[in-house]
Amino acid sequence: MQLTSPRLRAALLAAASLTLTAAVLPPPTPLGIGDTLFPQLGNPGYDVLAYDLSLTYRDNTTPLDAVTQIDARAQEPLERINLDFTHGTVASAEVNGQPARFENAGEDLVLTPAAPVTPGSPLRITIKHTSDPRGIADGGWVPTEDGLAMANQADAAHRVFPCNDHPADKAYFTFRITAPAGLTAVANGLPGALPARTATGATTWRYRTLHPMATELAQVSIGDSAVVHRTGPHGLPLRDVVPAADRERLEPWLKKTPGHIEWMEKRVGRYPFETYGVLIARARTGFELETQTLSLFESGIFSGEGYPEWYVEAVMVHELAHQWFGNSVTPRTWSDLWLNEGHATWYEALYADGLGTYSLERRMREAYQRSDQWRAAGGPPAAPKPAAPGEKIGLFRPAVYDGAALILYALRQEIGAAAFDRLERRWVTEHRDSVAGTQDFVRMASDVAGRDLKPFLEPWLYGKTTPAMPGHPEWGGPKSV
């Protein structure tokens, strides 16, 4: 039979090509980019430029219908393209508009395009799939009393959508979220258009980021929410998202954010993103999270029960500080996590010191006394031990919080407060919207100080025991308690 339809001929040729390619390629395997702590996280061979995520939400027990579109550029010849993805069902896949074969290998989704991809070629990958909100032990979606939120750190974004799930590959994001009438959907960044009512009565919400973002920092929240707008320093648009029933009760906390931003800007320079705000969820997570432009908080921390006001404010500053340290300047590997958490803890402690409630020196001395114990349990700050299987949140140990802030305190003692302040500003300015690692920090600190600080910093970063603290001989050696 003669084929008269060009479209039909192209479809059959593509299908035949996929069959032939699959016949000669070995079985797919999960890949990674070689991260010490997450060896199968991330994927080699391409650089993601942008994600466009479409999500349709019904309720917390029904998988969301989703379409993930990825714009990327090939960096090497690719017969297959590995994406990180699990906890969802794939219906179809395309690469550059042509159907692609798809298979699972571990927690990878492996695509075989109709033809091998050449280096430097643009890639547009489109995956139709589901995104399952059940199974919170894995991370990703977090059920709340009235809907969902996201908590993707450290390795859970690929439990929500197909991606290159490593912080070294930052990209721009667009979100399109459809939710039933009466619910509000929010995401990172700014609204891309007014909410639009669909034929079924649901509403579609659109958001986009103006700066690249790591997958672990993506945030989508759906619920019975109030969105509170105000203006921050330099006209910065602020947006808080809170349970509608708690709007008035939470206002005393929400109005503190402009002052917190001013406080941070005096120390490290202008806020690095297009907007900021807090997302307060009726959920128990056991943590707060610095999702980019919209930090996630448990509502319980603001209940007034068990947490003094100074502590809550300091935690708010901690997540805000992450917008510079961790979000704008993103770790090159997960072993560089201390640069995120150490800096956020440093500014948290400095803020509490300014309130006159918990002095910085007292906190650092207490950390110094515990430092050897923390290093023995979880590894030194810049070389943490891997988390136990199934407990990835276990990576977030005291050594990368107060133990890492202690490194910054020691560095300030060594080079002086003025040089330290110059280093902090320069770090977030020169690495803005990019990734950087521990050795980048050591080199910049040395340059600012005018001498090689590697011999000083390496024992603090990698030593099994804690070095002597400059300027504090009375502290003696660290004491495990």
Task: Give yes or no for a contact between 316 and 278, defined as CB atoms under 8 angstroms apart.
Answer: yes
Percent of the chain exceeding pLDDT 70 equals: 93
pLDDT of 64 > 60? The answer is yes
Q: Which among 155, 151, 464 is positioned nearest to 298, based on CA atoms?
A: 151
pLDDT of 17 > 50? The answer is no
For the ranges 55-59, 339-343, 388-392, which has the lowest average pLDDT?
A: 388-392
Token pair 């800007």 is found at 265
pLDDT of residue 136: 60
pLDDT of residue 421: 98
Task: Give yes or no for a contact between 68 and 163, defined as CB atoms under 8 angstroms apart.
Answer: yes
pLDDT of residue 391: 73
Measure CA 110 to chain center: 23
20 vs 478 pLDDT, higher one? 478
pLDDT of residue 198: 82
Q: What share of the chain is helix, strand, coil (3-state, %, to 5)?
A: 35, 25, 40
pLDDT of residue 6: 41
- For residues 217 and 156, what is the distance between their CA atoms, to the nearest angstrom? 10
Mean pLDDT, rounded, for 322-326: 98
- For residues 438 and 339, what is the distance between their CA atoms, to the nearest angstrom? 7
pLDDT of residue 135: 74
pLDDT of residue 193: 79
pLDDT of 69 > 50? The answer is yes
Q: Which among 474, 310, 350, 342 is positioned nearest to 408, based on CA atoms?
A: 342
pLDDT of 112 > 50? The answer is yes
pLDDT of 14 > 60? The answer is no
8 vs 129 pLDDT, higher one? 129
pLDDT of residue 359: 97
pLDDT of residue 29: 92
- For residues 410 and 349, what is the distance between their CA atoms, to the nearest angstrom? 14
Mean pLDDT, rounded, for 113-141: 91
Give the pair of three-digit tokens for residue 86.
Answer: 């699990």
pLDDT of 139 > 90? The answer is no
387 vs 67 pLDDT, higher one? 67
Q: How confident is the model at residue 477 (pLDDT cuts 50, 70, 90)?
A: low
Q: Which residues contact 32 (CB under 8 A, 6 or more apart)?
A: 38, 39, 40, 41, 42, 43, 44
pLDDT of 9 > 70? The answer is no
Q: How confident is the model at residue 260 (pLDDT cuts 50, 70, 90)?
A: very high
pLDDT of 333 > 90? The answer is yes
- For residues 63 and 25, what is the distance between their CA atoms, to the nearest angstrom? 33
For the ranges 98-107, 125-134, 185-194, 205-214, which has the lowest average pLDDT?
A: 185-194
- For residues 219 and 177, what is the distance between their CA atoms, to the nearest angstrom? 12
Average per-residue pLDDT for the chain: 92
pLDDT of residue 209: 98
pLDDT of 15 > 50? The answer is no
Percent of the chain exceeding pLDDT 90 equals: 86
For the ranges 20-29, 159-168, 213-222, which has the lowest average pLDDT?
A: 20-29
- For residues 175 and 52, what is the distance between their CA atoms, to the nearest angstrom? 6
Q: Which among 298, 277, 303, 295 is positioned nearest to 286, based on CA atoms?
A: 298
pLDDT of 39 > 80? The answer is yes
pLDDT of 21 > 50? The answer is no
pLDDT of 323 > 60? The answer is yes
Mean pLDDT, rounded, for 192-205: 86
pLDDT of residue 303: 86
Q: How confident is the model at residue 480 (pLDDT cuts 50, 70, 90)?
A: very low
pLDDT of residue 35: 95
Q: At residue 74, what is the residue type?
A: A
Mean pLDDT, rounded, for 425-448: 98
pLDDT of residue 16: 43
Mean pLDDT, rounded, for 366-380: 97
pLDDT of residue 194: 76
Mean pLDDT, rounded, for 251-270: 98
